[in-house]
Amino acid sequence: MELLEVLNENGIPTGEILDKNKVHKEGKYHKEVALILLNKKGEILLQKRSSTKEIEPNKWAWHGGHVIAGETSKEAIIRETKEELGLTLTKNQIKLLVELRRDKFPNRQYTVAYYSRCNLNVDEFKIQKDELSEVKWFSFRKFKDMIYSSHPDMMFKNNENTNKIISALENIIKSY
């Protein structure tokens, strides 16, 4: 059971802590984190969600997950990264990219998106098989094309929040 801290519409904790499934079923706001891993070529690591995932199975996505009650956002993304990719990051290796709000019922959330640099080959990741089926480095152009063309294998769609992430990434990639 994954317990989440419920937030109000302004992102402030309500004091209520509920199971993730109940939070989603009732459309309550909660915290999530995302991590974009970039290599020295400016490529983005995407992970293919397992075929057993309830939401968006077999789709390419960036890394992320829920913030469990009592965790900070950075602690959550460090935990998720270790669990799902076998990669241990420190708080200093993770940089804020953008903060987002999603109002679409039932998965209403506040997301803190981070980025970090990583130069591992895909075979060096130790992926959690019940969460992911594979990881792959994508060129930034291919990543954007998949989103903007509504590619059927891409989890994320061309919308305001995704565009904020792309815009922030463009600024970072320019500095490579």
pLDDT at 47: 97
CA atoms within 13 A on the CB side of 115: 17
What share of the chain has pLDDT > 90, as a percent?
Answer: 94
What CA–CA distance (Å, rounded) separates 30 from 112? 11
pLDDT digits (tens, 9 = 90+) for 29-78: 999 999 999 999 999 999 999 999 988 999 999 999 999 999 999 999 99
Q: Do 131 and 115 touch, CB atoms closer than 8 A? A: no
CA 24 to centroid of chain Cα atoms: 17
68-97 mean pLDDT: 97
- Alpha-carbon 77 to chain mean position: 8
**Residue 90 neighbours by CB distance under 10 Å:** 9
What's the start-to-end Cα distance of the chain, in Å?
A: 41
